[in-house]
Structure 1
Amino acid sequence: MAPDDPGLADLIARHAAHGDAHYPAESNHHLTGPEMAAKGVRLFAGWLSGDVVAMGGYVPWADGQAEVKSMHVAPSARGHGAGAAMLDVLMEAARAEGMVAIWLETGSRDASAPARRLYERAGFDYCAPFGGYVEDPESVFMTRAL
């Protein structure tokens, strides 16, 4: 799905606002729609009653690895499995594209605790910073084989 789709653009903006409300700017790693498009993020959306309520994507790396980007579920859809379903979709798409492992960065504060639980349940393990990330008390890093 294109990040400039109106429903998805709204959820991208809400995702950024959530990060901005809970984390300092230097620790925010969310991307705008144009940044996602420029980085080649494979973006997926989940719909409920005509509204985009979940999104997630991944950016493939040249070595068969990928990074989860911009997972977000609208408050109205939280607690109903939308996040798990979205994560399953993007991991299956990454696997089908030939990715063998997937990585992610998420927040360390209570506001991100549901996301960390989701990733833990999906088999992600905590790891050191990867790619261009550096140690940051506001971030945690996770990975899993596909």
Structure 2
Amino acid sequence: MLPDIRIDTRLGPDVACLLDEHLRDMRAVSPPESKHALDLDSLRAPDITFWTAHRNGRLIGCGALKALDAEHGEIKSMRIDAACRGQGVGSMLLQHIEQEARRRGYTRLSLETGSMDFFLPARALYARHGFTPCPPFAAYRPDPNSVFMTKRLSDSR
């Protein structure tokens, strides 16, 4: 069954729980200066659109798109419930966010993820969808604990 992906402005307790797991994982594997995951208040910023994925009424994943400028967006807070990993939910959510980025006229979509082995599945997902390593973007600085990736949307229609 395909997940129902929708904009979520409420960011209720189920989202808080999923993101708490995300933040706990980030704290466990990333030093504080290398943790770029957003909390609930940050995800409510006007330059961020947040989506949740549901199956049978249950939250199974989330992801966000942050507007960096008129042509560049950043993927933030991608998280899939552990019980649903490997079922294509991450790919569907990523494609949904990319489709929205294209609709907005973005020509580039970028992200930051960890360089540790823990993040290997995430990096593989992004690479399968055409993201390639890039230098730090926006306010990021070089960091051995971070991998920066980007995708030119104009080249992959």
TM-score if structure 1 supplies the norm length?
Answer: 0.95
CA shift in 2, pair 1:59/1:108, >3 Å: same
Could you tell me how far apart the structure 2 residues matched to 1:71 and 1:132 are?
A: 19
Structure 2 gaps of 5+ residues are 1-7
My pick for the range that moved more, 115-124 or 15-24, is 15-24
Q: Say whether the 8 Å CA contact 1:3–1:33 is kept in structure 2.
A: no
Q: Say whether the 8 Å CA contact 1:3–1:36 is kept in structure 2.
A: no
Name the residue aligned to 1:19. 26
Could you tell me how far apart the structure 2 residues matched to 1:30 and 1:3 are?
A: 19
Find the partner of 2:100 among 66, 81, 93.
93
Mapping 1:21-100, distance limit 5 Å: 21-38=28-45, 40-100=47-107
Find the partner of 1:119 among 126, 132, 135.
126
Could you tell me how far apart the structure 1 residues matched to 2:129 and 2:61 are?
A: 17
Structure 1 gaps of 5+ residues are none
Q: CA RMSD in A?
A: 1.2
Query: Could you tell me how far 1:39 is from its partner in structure 2?
Result: 5.2
Q: Say whether the 8 Å CA contact 1:3–1:43 is kept in structure 2.
A: no
Q: Say whether the 8 Å CA contact 2:48–2:64 is kept in structure 1.
A: yes
Query: Could you tell me how far 1:40 is from its partner in structure 2?
Result: 2.3
**Equivalent residue of 2:137, what SS?**
coil
Could you tell me how far apart the structure 1 residues matched to 2:10 and 2:102 are?
A: 22
Q: Say whether the 8 Å CA contact 1:108–1:137 is kept in structure 2.
A: yes
Which whole-Å deviations, capped at 9, do the CAs of 1:87-142 have from their partners, x for residues lacking one?
Answer: 00111011112211101000000110000000000000101111111111110000
My pick for the range that moved more, 34-43 or 132-141, is 34-43
Name the residue aligned to 2:9. 2
* Count of matched residue positions in the alignment of Structure 1 and Structure 2: 146
**Equivalent residue of 1:136, what SS?**
coil
TM-score if structure 2 supplies the norm length?
Answer: 0.88
Q: Which amino acid aligns with 1:78?
A: R
Find the partner of 1:141 among 142, 148, 156.
148
**Equivalent residue of 2:69, what SS?**
coil
Query: Could you tell me how far 1:33 is from its partner in structure 2?
Result: 1.0
**Equivalent residue of 1:134, what SS?**
coil
Query: Could you tell me how far 1:63 is from its partner in structure 2?
Result: 3.0
